[in-house]
Structure 1
Amino acid sequence: MQRSPFRPFPSQLSPISTMVLSLFASANAWAAAGDPAAPLQVAEVEFNDQFLQRSRGESVDIARFNKGNVALPGDYRADIYANGVWLGLAEIRLRELSTESPDAQVCFDRALLERIGVDLMKLPAKAGARLLAAQAGECVTLGSLIPDATASFDNGEQRLDISVPQVALARTARGYVEPAHWDDGVTAARLQYDANTYYASANGVSSAQTYVGVNAGINMGPWRFRHNGSLSSSNQAGTHYQSVQTNLQRSIRHLKSQLTVGDAFTDGALFDSVGFRGVQLASDDRMYPDSQRGYAPIVRGMANSNARVEVRQNGNLLYETTVAPGAFEINDLYPTGYGGNLDVIITEADGTVRTSTVPYAAAVNALRPGITRFSATLGQYRNPTVGIHPVLFQTTVQHGFTNLITGYGGFVASPDYLAAQLGVALNTRYGAFGVDLTQASAHLEHEPNRNGQSLRLSYSKLVEPSNTNLSIAAYRYSSRGYLGLADAMALRDLDERSMGYAASGTQRARLQLTVNQQLPAGYGSFYMSGSSQNYWDRNGTDTQWQAGYSNSYKRLNYTMAFSRQLNTRSSKWDNRVMLTLGIPLGNHPQAPYSTTSLQSGSGSSPAMATQTLAGSLGGDGAIGYSLNASHSGANAGAASNTTAGANVAYTAPFASVSGSASRSRNYSQGSISVSGGVVGYAGGVAFTPTMSDTLAIVEAKDTAGARVTNGSGLRIDPWGHAIVSSLSPFTRNQIEIDPKGLPIDVELKSTQQSVAPTAGAIVRLRFETENPGRAAILGIQMPNGTPAPFGADVLDEQGKSIGTIAQSGRVIARGLKSETGRVIVNWGSDAGDHCSADYSLPKIDKTMRASYSVVSAICR
């Protein structure tokens, strides 16, 4: 396979010479301007060498610059771009079709046409015979197959740009990547960890909790083995390990689905999401283009101190972290199902615990016409809060019939429990409406059987005139005898133990609403989310909500937030209001940011004022810090209290480390957290401070310290590796290395690559580099003391071009294999238009980054 070094000649000339030759070379582009899609090298230009005469009036032969960086015949591995859209890497063949043009042409066959999305049925009749000739080995150009289509190969970037009229292409959705081009990645083992130690002492009582979350796995071809669990330890509850889920997964491309064997969660689009241990085949929306995917929830809340925040779903601990005082937002939560409420537990430094619930249900179940989403699950019911694990079977299906109507339904079956649902979603100009009815029946041994119905109405709408986004507006009414699967299993567990049903009752009606409103320019925005529900056999209504308004005035940012949460210590609802003012203390990107917040709560919650100063340090902002102080007023017989604390975080090349500490008259607190990931594969071991489910291993030899632009502070490690996290599966991801700061004697053949990984894949991207030898600035003089001819070609002893003479006889010569040697200067075709010069380079310290050596030489 043939590849050309990434070495454009203008970088070897002085600025003035570069400008002159660039002006000449621009004529090449003007010659092709009549056809915007035509390759730039279609026309040959002739430079006026009168502008480049030597001091003695002799002209310089620069005919070699009449053409660009031409490609030689051969096989290449190149990035394919069709109409500006990346389609992946592919092997292409270049052949010389004309002796008059030194530039080889790209050969096309049926496979390459299908890859770029050409509809073969739309090709002219003569194209069929040409494709048969291509199959027989003949080189067939794109223009001979499709009128007005062009193909241009960039030899330096190893990139093939193809322009094809839209009429010749098959119709696909924006962002679509052909499944044949999805990359399953390499065989590798991975470990993601997140550890947190939290200590607090309040009113003479000390408590310590340690949490270690792990997500380990092995990739082999399309198969993904994953284990997700957490180890928790405290001086009150002891130490225990909880396995959240262990499973084996793989993508089923032609069904646009995921096969899961082991522990997982059911799709919560129709029924509530529950845990199971068994087998599941379910549609994966990520396999559809970006325009056809769903949404993910955001967890918001408020903390009074350096608090510990837990996020649980169905009794499983999904996420734990330490947050600073004030409002917080968790937007990187990886949900385990499409539905099922998220329980948010905030533990303050003084031991106060508050809980809230983030409604997490699918939006209205409308689909595009012709799209089908399905799931089928068979296994054992799994919930750590109950002691029974009966067999479970669930299946659901949704199908878009027209732009207006989507139908859906499904059923759940388990011993002594059966539920069925039918529904319809209407996508109208007034918004998307959904209505469905679920019939459920549960048999109990020591309690009366339960039979009932549940009616759900949902609505979603973006009100364009006011730009109001109603993400979820849902109302559910359940009759007295209705039980969802989770409630039925909990009741059955109590029934089998003859403990009777809990006095909390069953849910009767529930209303949930999420609104996001962007106000006119200058008036800010606000959000509101909340839910209200009541129960059979229980008085009262539980209402919880959060709302906020944000705006700015010049450099001042301000937010007003409201919340209602349950205080588990007092079993009372706590209403809070918070005003936050923020302003940067300087114009530098890393200047400290000052935040002042005032909050007041109902009941026994005291008013509080908090001042925070936060910023970052280091060239990449790898060190983050914050200092905070707060004062709470006297309330309900309690004296006022003042607290001071600090947080610091460091994102190292191999891990992320953070710590916090705070102290007041009533309590003291401290925590240390560390997180990161490690990947082991055939090419070695690589570390990363952050890790997601789908990632790429970047390999670039001899480029240690080079910045990878896909992450803040992400750089190539000393072994030539870097891990790029947060890749989007089944879609195009572009990986780029910034060559700034590389050693002068190291060249990247390409600085960009693109990849479309499957879900959970660990893809391997090799960035080829050249280390051709030392680079030096040679000042070459003729025997009479005059500079060597401007524009002359400089060759090594093997006849390879290594530079071009610029002003004053200087040349940036690359690829000098030894410290002493000889170069040949050639400025014409006559026998006397050349000379040779011996050079001797100084020794360099191998531990230092390479730099240019400047030496003089006489050309004889």
Structure 2
Amino acid sequence: MSIRKSARPVLLRQPLAAAISSMLLALCSMEASATDTESTTKTRASFDTRTLQARGIDPKVAEYFSEAPRFREGTHTVTLILNGAKLGLVDATFDENGQLCFDRALLEKAKLRETALVNPSSASDTANASGCYDFAATYPTTKVTLNPAQDEVALLVPTEAFQPGGYDLANAATGGAAGLLNYDLLGQSTRTSGQSSRYLYASTEVGANAGDWIMRSRQVYTSNDDRSRFEHVYAYAQRTFTSHKAIFQAGQINITSPLFTGAPISGVQIIPEGALAAQGSGPVVEGVAQSDARVDVRQAGALIYSTRVPAGPFALNDIPLLNGRTDLEVTVVEGDGAERKFIVPMASLNASSLPRTGYSLAAGKVRNISGIESTQPVVATAAGSWVVSKSTVASGGVMGGRGYQALGLGVDSKVATSTIVSARNTLSNASKDNARGVQTSFAINANLTGSLSAGASATFQTKGYRDLLDTTYGDFGAFGSSRYKSQFTGTLGWSHPTWGGLNLSYSSVQTFNGTTTGRFVGSWGKTFRHASVSASLETELGSSGQHTTRHNGNAFYVNVNIPLGSRNLRTYVNQRDDRLRTGATLSEKVNDTMNYRVAAEGGDGGTDLTGNVALTPRYTQINLGAGHYGSGSTSFFGQFRGGVALHDGGVTASPYPIQDTFGVLSVGDLSGVKVTTPYGPVWTDPWGKAVIPQLPAYKSSRVEVITKTLPRNVDIKNGFKTIEAGRGSVIDVQFDIVKTRRVLVTAIDDQGHPLAKGSSVMGPDNTFVTTVVDDGQLFLANAMNSEGLKVFLPDGKQCALNVTLPEKADEHAYYENAIASRRIL
């Protein structure tokens, strides 16, 4: 064989094709010829047809393999790459020349425009499912790169070929049914100066998805020593109607409105489906804990979130808000029982992007979830947001009920490429109190440069202003004077490659009784070659009349992190008020299912020793810890979180809470296989199943099997899936596996002589299997189909092989060793 420039062998995946191509390449000579129209080199192979016929190979096969690598005619599942981005799997069709057919399925997957048909069967421009569009002729700069060896098709298309903006809801998977249970249990026991205290927090969510309907019920139980409380937070049913791009809710819900406070009601609601709109990053609650502490977040009087944080700065994400208009009350309970509270104004969290457009309607009876005695009037509200110009969204709405009416107006505008200004104005009339008032808020968020960002918000309300919940309390005057009169927030962020990053935030609240409280938080951080350094400052200010003084709540924190491989050493200095503390923490991520942390802290008040271990034993999350504070306080805690899905294939546990759109995957019947999902890694249970706890609605997401966790005797056809799920659907994802027995066989006769090198091994249907190499050895890619093997010897004789295998395959070995006897036919 002689090879000229740019000649490359054809790589094929099918064993038979690979065998044939190997034989052909062994017999061919390559000839290169340059075309007149392109400065590229085509490769073409010529074969000795008589030799091929003698080997039993049709010369037509040689003609097919004489050209460059290409797909066989028909439909193949390939990975589609569009302008450099992987879009996942698609069934692509190829003609008799191996050329790609731009059919409707391909254009829809890539979200490309339809063009004229290549060979229309009628005058109609509408293609049937198998018709090919003349896409390359319409957009001549299109480049198609075929890679049959990797089952990939790469397209490079001009931007004008894309469909107009917007998501094609027809691509989203729908349907499916399953039940679920989410749980979050936190228990803590503290003993101080001979007295003990116990705290228990239990949050459960039960529900089901069926026919794209979402049904959920959430309950929270808290117990603090002899005081306990059970709160039924909500129970509702929800469905997205894609034709209207709207969500319908019914039950115990919270009013979602761009203008009014989100009161809890028992009723119905229609709101825009926001999965397609650009959204902000969600609320983030920041603070500094002096010790290992518990953080409780309340909204509208209800406890909506409770977690533990280590000493130092903290930032809480993914808080399950009841609504987007009511401020958050945050309580930090330190390890020694000391409490601190602060308010996070909601105006400071809602100015990160233009709001989504659409209309919202709600009607129902107000629910009491705060535990304070109140009335429960019937209320109705309607609001809408619509585009005024390319950079401006206006909002308007009304709310009314017995003894209460409100009118709201708002505007959000991009005054510059990266600057958003928002304004809200709400007028209220509470006839029961004969009170009328106004609430006005402003917010601005700006990315001033690539490294500098800033934001500010201000909210004012008159003494006569009431929101809906204010009118439900029996004695408004008992707490009316403690309501805020004004709120101010400001943030500033700056980053520099040499000096690090700096973030500053300030908030201030003034009440009608003349009290003013302020809170300032600043942080700086920089990563060096062998360590990272950060510092945080938290200051709380209080006032009485016109004299402003500092009070308890000031903290300064300096932290140095030193990575030590899988371990991390953290040292810090912490000062709160006049109390100076220093400490060190050692943490390590042992593996995917375990990490731990131990800490020691000393200074004013004695020495604290704490430690915890976090476990993810595949099907739940466990966090256990203990602490000793000073000379007379000890604390123990335990937390369990996770979910359980009930589906038609059985019951499957999840280490993470299950969200409104989820799936169930299976990897055959294999246990302990690790699979990455959009929410985090999961592991298959003893029946080969695992829960995909969250799938983003109406967006593509990737689920991938970590193949190194598969048994060695298992092959998987395709280790990843691209999923597009409709809201409320339950997706069934199956990874097809093939259990094989790879065996290195040594074939000998009765006298111990090995088979001749180069002998061909054929299957019972005379298909090529493999070739004998040195010492009579041959490799069977799947010895489970080893019955009826025949060997064609160089002298023209044939013999039958009898391979003897152990009854059970070795799952931990890539291949086994076996002896085969032969019998002359």
- Per the normalisation by structure 2, the TM-score is 0.84
SS of corresponding position for 1:544: strand
Determine the C-alpha separation between the residues in 2 that align with 1:747 and 1:784: 34
State which of 214, 218, 223 in structure 1 corresponds to 2:213: 223
State which of 119, 123, 126 in structure 1 corresponds to 2:113: 119
Residues 117-147 of structure 1: CA deviation (Å, up to 9, x unaligned): 3434x53797584877964977788668876
Distance 1:814 1:346, change over 3 A: same
Equivalent residue letter for 2:646 = G
Where in structure 1 are there 5+ consecutive unaligned residues? Answer: 1-5, 50-60, 634-639
Determine the C-alpha separation between the residues in 1 that align with 2:797 and 2:702: 46
Q: Give the equivalent residue in structure 2 for 1:654.
A: 619
Q: Give the equivalent residue in structure 2 for 1:705.
A: 672
Determine the C-alpha separation between the residues in 2 that align with 1:153 and 1:765: 27
SS of corresponding position for 1:456: strand
Cα shift at 1:825: 4.5
Determine the C-alpha separation between the residues in 1 that align with 2:394 and 2:361: 17
Tell me, yes or no, if structure 1 residue 381 matches structure 2 residue 366: yes
Q: Give the equivalent residue in structure 1 for 2:504.
A: 528
Equivalent residue letter for 2:533 = Y
Distance 1:399 1:440, change over 3 A: same
Cα shift at 1:557: 1.8
State which of 511, 519, 525 in structure 2 corresponds to 1:550: 525
Determine the C-alpha separation between the residues in 2 that align with 1:48 and 1:317: 82
Cα shift at 1:394: 1.9
Tell me, yes or no, if structure 1 residue 300 matches structure 2 residue 283: no
Residues 565-614 of structure 1: CA deviation (Å, up to 9, x unaligned): 599xxx9953322333333352x2x12x2222222223xx6322232221
Where in structure 2 are there 5+ consecutive unaligned residues? Answer: 1-11, 50-60, 543-548
Count of residue pairs the alignment pairs up: 786
Cα shift at 1:72: 6.2
CA contact (8 A) 1:185 1:764 kept: no
Tell me, yes or no, if structure 1 residue 483 matches structure 2 residue 471: no
Determine the C-alpha separation between the residues in 1 that align with 2:306 and 2:294: 7
Tell me, yes or no, if structure 1 residue 190 matches structure 2 residue 180: yes
Residues 91-131 of structure 1: CA deviation (Å, up to 9, x unaligned): 6666xx54xx5x5x7666556545543434x5379758487
State which of 609, 614, 626 in structure 1 corresponds to 2:597: 626
Determine the C-alpha separation between the residues in 2 that align with 1:167 and 1:308: 54
Q: Equivalent pairs: percent with the same residue?
A: 21
SS of corresponding position for 2:346: coil
Residues 483-518 of structure 1: CA deviation (Å, up to 9, x unaligned): 22333333xx326xxxx4426344322112233222
Determine the C-alpha separation between the residues in 1 that align with 2:673 and 2:790: 34
Determine the C-alpha separation between the residues in 2 that align with 1:178 and 1:669: 54
Q: How does 1:442-591 map to 2 (within 5 A)?
A: 442-444=430-432, 447=433, 449-464=434-449, 467-470=451-454, 472-490=455-473, 493-494=474-475, 500-502=477-479, 504-518=481-495, 520-536=496-512, 538-564=513-539, 573-584=551-562, 586=564, 588=565, 590-591=566-567
Determine the C-alpha separation between the residues in 1 that align with 2:269 and 2:38: 54
Distance 1:630 1:412, change over 3 A: same
Cα shift at 1:192: 1.2
Q: How does 1:41-60 map to 2 (within 5 A)?
A: 45=45
Q: Give the equivalent residue in structure 2 for 1:723.
A: 691
Q: Give the equivalent residue in structure 2 for 1:817.
A: 784
Cα shift at 1:656: 1.0
Q: Give the equivalent residue in structure 1 for 2:815.
A: 852
CA contact (8 A) 2:747 2:754 kept: no
Q: Give the equivalent residue in structure 1 for 2:408.
A: 421
Determine the C-alpha separation between the residues in 2 that align with 1:702 and 1:678: 19
Distance 1:787 1:241, change over 3 A: same
Determine the C-alpha separation between the residues in 1 that align with 2:667 and 2:149: 17
Equivalent residue letter for 1:795 = M
Tell me, yes or no, if structure 1 residue 738 matches structure 2 residue 706: yes
SS of corresponding position for 2:170: helix
Cα shift at 1:310: 1.4
Determine the C-alpha separation between the residues in 2 that align with 1:805 and 1:427: 72
Residues 321-380 of structure 1: CA deviation (Å, up to 9, x unaligned): 222333323223233333322222122232211112223335348749xx7233211112
Distance 1:31 1:342, change over 3 A: farther
Cα shift at 1:406: 2.4
Determine the C-alpha separation between the residues in 1 that align with 2:233 and 2:744: 62
Distance 1:528 1:744, change over 3 A: same
CA contact (8 A) 2:279 2:353 kept: no
Distance 1:515 1:161, change over 3 A: same
State which of 271, 275, 287 in structure 2 corresponds to 1:282: 271
SS of corresponding position for 2:472: helix
Q: Give the equivalent residue in structure 1 for 2:259.
A: 270
Residues 51-99 of structure 1: CA deviation (Å, up to 9, x unaligned): xxxxxxxxxx9999768997666666766665555667666666xx54x
Q: How does 1:145-294 map to 2 (within 5 A)?
A: 165-172=158-165, 177-238=167-228, 240-267=229-256, 269-288=258-277, 292-294=278-280
Q: Give the equivalent residue in structure 2 for 1:714.
A: 682
Distance 1:91 1:137, change over 3 A: closer
CA contact (8 A) 2:32 2:44 kept: no
CA contact (8 A) 1:81 1:162 kept: yes
Determine the C-alpha separation between the residues in 2 that align with 1:398 and 1:488: 26
Cα shift at 1:212: 1.4
SS of corresponding position for 1:641: coil
Cα shift at 1:731: 0.8
Q: Give the equivalent residue in structure 2 for 1:675.
A: 641
SS of corresponding position for 1:747: strand
SS of corresponding position for 1:487: helix
Tell me, yes or no, if structure 1 residue 606 matches structure 2 residue 549: no
Determine the C-alpha separation between the residues in 2 that align with 1:376 and 1:201: 51
SS of corresponding position for 1:574: coil
Determine the C-alpha separation between the residues in 1 that align with 2:607 and 2:24: 70
Determine the C-alpha separation between the residues in 2 that align with 1:677 and 1:334: 16
SS of corresponding position for 1:730: coil
Determine the C-alpha separation between the residues in 2 that align with 1:11 and 1:322: 59
